[in-house]
Amino acid sequence: MSEQVLGKRQFGHKARLVLPTVLSFKIDEQAHAARAMWNLLHAWWLMMPREKRTLANADAAIRQARKDVEFLAVLPAQAAQAVLKTYLQAWKNCWEGRAEAPNFKARFRAVLSVDVPQGRDLNIVRVHRRWGMVNIPKVGRVRFRWTKDLPVGKRADRDNRITGARLIKDDLGWHIAFRIQTLEPVPEPHEGPEVGIDVGIAVPLALSDGKSFRHGAWLTAKEQAKLLRLERRSAVLRQHRKRGEKTSKRLQCVYGQIARLSAKAKRRRQDWQQKTTTTIARAYGTVVVEALQITNMVKSAKGTIDQPGKNVAQKSGLNRSIHAEAWGRMVVMLGYKLTQRGGTLVKVPAPGTSQRCSMCGVTTPGNRESQVVFVCKNPECGWSGNADHNAGRNVLHLYRIGHVAIPAAGRRSRQARKRVQPATAR
């Protein structure tokens, strides 16, 4: 009998924190200090000559900033070092064409977060079937929701442990995302069948074997009515706000209620995506999806003053629907879940998959008469069927003939790489 091969796996787990108001304010202060540290570091980086942009100089700069600026002292020293590490990684991603150049973080648009880079500082203890306690530097012991068995206590060792965490705030409160490292058996190749997936709006996921995955509205009828009432209320309050005037507390309160409802819908959407992608990853060995350029698909149709766009309102509604489905996050979930189970995720070019007949192979723009029905215009074929499942079969056909999309840096990333010259710190 052959020995089982073990491999390291790194993943994250997000849990909800239960914070008293005093401790919540303390973490808010640390998060704003981390954001200010990023902005100061970015300003220093832009002012320094290229030859002085080194890791040692940047480290000395943030140490001096913590001494000179009083409110930065609330941020733990290791969290400040994590800001520096994240900032340098952002430049590295820019140089390698994976992202644009880093920029300043605005107070109201940036996501508040604080990093805890050392797992030993957390001192995690499970105190109840549903609750655990974690130590946050310069804050204290905090209770969190226990929804997954973590490698803590006697279960923790050099290969199975929590290496760190990050505190993240959304519109529903603070959460903690643990970074976990485990030693697990390398999965055997998945023996499941191949399947092609077509993503859409009316039918979120249509599979080539005739199956489909749908979902209802993310908010109940009562919640939707409340959201509509709040949006109308915010529109009335904005009418009384003069240009350049500070937002009133009443309007901020309405904005907060709208944001909480939106965050609740987002959580439900992510829950559906997690369950759906797990079902697909367990059933299929090879999953083929389209390599969609979502950024290009959701571009505005307003146009310019000289050449105004057409059907702008309809295109705006379509863009909102595409954003709401979060196809990119769905593909990411499928990717790591298939890898964990020995499966494979493949991307194929998207053009023509909805206009090609999966029976005869003829591609005609008029084949798809509607969003639901596909009717082949080839006189020798004349096949008709569900348009989404037909597109899923075409996606799988492209993979079988070897027409696989090759990932490449986008034009915007290449332009950013040309615009920003690498510095000595690289």
Structure tokens at 313: 């309102």
Count how many domains the chain has.
2
| Pair type for strands 161-170 and 205-207 | unpaired
- 127 shares a domain with 12: yes
Strand partners, 344: 286
Q: Are 254 and 262 in contact (CB under 8 A)?
A: no
Residue 191 placed within a domain? no
- 134 shares a domain with 12: yes
- b/e per residue 368-404 (b: at least 16 CB within 10 A): beeeeebbbeeeeeeeebebbbbbbbbbbbbbeeeee
Backbone angles phi, psi at 183, to 5 degrees: -110, 110
* DSSP per position, 224-256: HHHHHHHHHHHHHHHHTPPTTPPPPHHHHHHHH
Please give the model's pTM, rounded to 2 decimal places: 0.81
Structure tokens at 341: 């189970």
Residue 299 placed within a domain? no
- 171 shares a domain with 58: no
- 108 shares a domain with 27: yes
Query: In 3D, which of 282, 280, 289 has the Cα closest to residue 187?
Result: 282
pLDDT tens across 61-82, in order? 988 888 888 889 899 999 999 9
| Residue 233: exposure state from Cβ atoms within 10 A (0-12, 13-18, ≥19) | middle
| Residue 318: exposure state from Cβ atoms within 10 A (0-12, 13-18, ≥19) | middle
Classify 164 as helix, strand or coil. Answer: strand
Q: Are 210 and 389 in contact (CB under 8 A)?
A: yes
pLDDT tens across 390-411, in order? 888 888 888 888 877 755 444 3
- The residue from 185, 203, 231 where one domain ends is 185
How many Å is the Cα radius of gyration of the chain? 25
Q: Which residue type is seen at 6?
A: L
- The residue from 159, 185, 211 where one domain ends is 185
**Domain hosting residue 93, numbered range:** 23-112
- Check residue 421 and give its pLDDT: 47
- Check residue 278 and give its pLDDT: 93
- The residue from 185, 214, 232 where one domain ends is 185
- 42 shares a domain with 107: yes
Cα 224 from chain centroid? 25
- Check residue 239 and give its pLDDT: 86
- 125 shares a domain with 105: no
Classify 72 as helix, strand or coil. Answer: helix
CA dist 200 and 206 (Å) reads 8
Backbone angles phi, psi at 272, to 5 degrees: -65, -40
Q: Are 81 and 117 in contact (CB under 8 A)?
A: yes
Q: Are 130 and 146 in contact (CB under 8 A)?
A: yes
Residue 156 placed within a domain? yes
In this prediction, the residues of the chain whose per-residue pLDDT falls under 50 are: 1, 408-426
